[in-house]
Structure 1
Amino acid sequence: MQDNSTAAFWLPAELTRDAPKYLAIAQALSADIRSGRLAPGVQLPPQRQLAKALGVDLTTVTRAFNEVRRAGLVEGNTKRGTIVSPSRIAPARVVVDESRPAEAMALIDLSMNMPPQPAEAGLREAIADGVAAVLASPHALARLHYQDNAGIPGDRAAGAHFLASRLGPVAPERLVVTSGSQAALFAVVSALLEPGSVLAAPEVTYPGLRSVAARCGVRLAAVRTDGDGLLPDDFEALCRTQRPKALYCVPTLDNPTTATLPAGRRQALVAIAREHGIAFIEDDAYGALPEHAPAPLAALAPERSWHIATLSKCATPALRLAYVVAPGQAEALEITAQTRIINLMAPPLMAGLATVWIKDGTMARLTAAIRRENHARQAIAATALNGFTYRAAADAHHLWLSLPSAWIGADLSAVARKAGLALVGSAAFAVGAPPAALRISLGAAPSHEALRQGLNTLAALLSVPPEGVPGIV
Structure 2
Amino acid sequence: MVSSLFIRWATLLQQQTERPAYLRIADFIAEGITTGELPSRYRLPPLRDLAETLSLNYTTVTRGYAEARRRGLIDSRPGLGSFIRTKASSASVTPMSNYEMTMNAPVEPAGSVIEEALRIGALNLFSNTDIQGLLRYQDFGGSADDKAAAMLWMNKKLTLTDESEVLVCAGIHNALVGIMTLLKRKKGAVCVSNLIYPGMKAIASHLEIKLKAVLCDEYGPDPAAFEALCRAGEISTLYINPTLHNPTTLTIPAFRRRELAEVCSRYNISIIEDDAYAALTEDKIPAFAELVPSLTWYITGMSKCFGPGLRIAFLKGPDKQAIARLSGVLRALTIMSSPLTNALARQWINDGTADRMLNEIKSEAKIRQKLASIYLSGYEYQADSNGYHIWLLLPKMINSNSSDVAAKLREKGISAVSGIAFCTDNKPVEALRLCLGGSQTRQQCEDRLKILSEMLADPIFFSSMAI
Matched, 1:222 2:213: yes
Quick one: which amino acid aligns to residue 409 of structure 1? N
Matched residue SS, 2:235? coil
Could you tell me whether the CA contact under 8 Å between 2:365 and 2:386 is conserved in 1?
Answer: yes
Q: How does 1:91-170 map to 2 (within 5 A)?
A: 101=92, 103-120=94-111, 122-170=113-161
Residue 140 of structure 1 deviates from its aligned partner by 3.9
Quick one: which amino acid aligns to residue 405 of structure 2? L
Runs of at least 5 residues in structure 2 that lack an aligned partner in the other structure: 1-90
Could you tell me whether the CA contact under 8 Å between 1:390 and 1:400 is conserved in 2?
Answer: yes
Partner of 1:174: 165
| Change beyond 3 A, Cα 1:126–1:147 | farther
Residue 106 of structure 1 deviates from its aligned partner by 4.7
Matched, 1:422 2:438: no
After superposition, give the CA deviation of every residue in 1:358-400 in whole Å (9 maximum; x if it has no partner).
Answer: 1111111111110101100100100010110011100011011
Could you tell me whether the CA contact under 8 Å between 1:407 and 1:465 is conserved in 2?
Answer: no
Partner of 2:319: 328
Following the alignment from structure 2 to structure 1, what is the Cα–Cα distance between the partners of residues 463 and 117?
45
Could you tell me whether the CA contact under 8 Å between 1:121 and 1:366 is conserved in 2?
Answer: no
Following the alignment from structure 1 to structure 2, what is the Cα–Cα distance between the partners of residues 440 and 104?
18
Quick one: which amino acid aligns to residue 345 of structure 1? M
Residue 102 of structure 1 deviates from its aligned partner by 5.3
Following the alignment from structure 2 to structure 1, what is the Cα–Cα distance between the partners of residues 269 and 300?
20
Following the alignment from structure 2 to structure 1, what is the Cα–Cα distance between the partners of residues 186 and 143?
32
The more displaced of 340-349 and 102-111 is 102-111
Matched, 1:313 2:304: yes
| Change beyond 3 A, Cα 1:102–1:115 | farther
Out of 258, 261, 264, the residue aligned to residue 270 of structure 1 is 261
| Change beyond 3 A, Cα 1:138–1:422 | closer
Q: How does 1:159-308 map to 2 (within 5 A)?
A: 159-194=150-185, 197-308=188-299
After superposition, give the CA deviation of every residue in 1:122-153 in whole Å (9 maximum; x if it has no partner).
Answer: 55434422222222235443212111111111
Runs of at least 5 residues in structure 1 that lack an aligned partner in the other structure: 1-99
Following the alignment from structure 1 to structure 2, what is the Cα–Cα distance between the partners of residues 220 and 163?
28
Out of 381, 387, 399, the residue aligned to residue 396 of structure 1 is 387
Partner of 1:461: 455
| Change beyond 3 A, Cα 1:138–1:414 | closer
Matched residue SS, 1:412? helix
Quick one: which amino acid aligns to residue 459 of structure 1? S
Could you tell me whether the CA contact under 8 Å between 1:166 and 1:299 is conserved in 2?
Answer: no
Quick one: which amino acid aligns to residue 107 of structure 1? N
Could you tell me whether the CA contact under 8 Å between 2:95 and 2:413 is conserved in 1?
Answer: no
Matched, 1:452 2:424: no
Residue 197 of structure 1 deviates from its aligned partner by 3.3
Following the alignment from structure 2 to structure 1, what is the Cα–Cα distance between the partners of residues 250 and 421?
18
The more displaced of 195-204 and 311-320 is 195-204
| Change beyond 3 A, Cα 1:250–1:209 | same
Residue 468 of structure 1 deviates from its aligned partner by 5.0
Out of 401, 404, 423, the residue aligned to residue 409 of structure 1 is 401
Out of 419, 428, 434, the residue aligned to residue 428 of structure 2 is 434
| Change beyond 3 A, Cα 1:462–1:206 | same
Could you tell me whether the CA contact under 8 Å between 1:134 and 1:349 is conserved in 2?
Answer: no
Quick one: which amino acid aligns to residue 440 of structure 1? L
After superposition, give the CA deviation of every residue in 1:23-64 in whole Å (9 maximum; x if it has no partner).
Answer: xxxxxxxxxxxxxxxxxxxxxxxxxxxxxxxxxxxxxxxxxx
Quick one: which amino acid aligns to residue 108 of structure 2? Q
Following the alignment from structure 1 to structure 2, what is the Cα–Cα distance between the partners of residues 437 and 282?
25
Residue identity (%): 32
Following the alignment from structure 1 to structure 2, what is the Cα–Cα distance between the partners of residues 142 and 129?
21
After superposition, give the CA deviation of every residue in 1:220-247 in whole Å (9 maximum; x if it has no partner).
Answer: 0112222322222221122223531111
Quick one: which amino acid aligns to residue 263 of structure 1? A
Could you tell me whether the CA contact under 8 Å between 2:95 and 2:411 is conserved in 1?
Answer: no
TM-score (norm 1): 0.75
| Change beyond 3 A, Cα 1:355–1:385 | same
Out of 443, 448, 451, the residue aligned to residue 437 of structure 2 is 443
Quick one: which amino acid aligns to residue 282 of structure 1? E
After superposition, give the CA deviation of every residue in 1:259-299 in whole Å (9 maximum; x if it has no partner).
Answer: 01111111111100000110110001000001224111112
| Change beyond 3 A, Cα 1:195–1:428 | farther
| Change beyond 3 A, Cα 1:344–1:468 | closer
Partner of 2:45: none
Larger Cα-atom Rg: 1
After superposition, give the CA deviation of every residue in 1:402-435 in whole Å (9 maximum; x if it has no partner).
Answer: 1112154260111101111111101110001211
Partner of 1:364: 355
TM-score (norm 2): 0.76
Could you tell me whether the CA contact under 8 Å between 1:164 and 1:170 is conserved in 2?
Answer: no
The alignment covers a number of residue pairs equal to 372
Partner of 1:348: 339
Residue 118 of structure 1 deviates from its aligned partner by 1.2
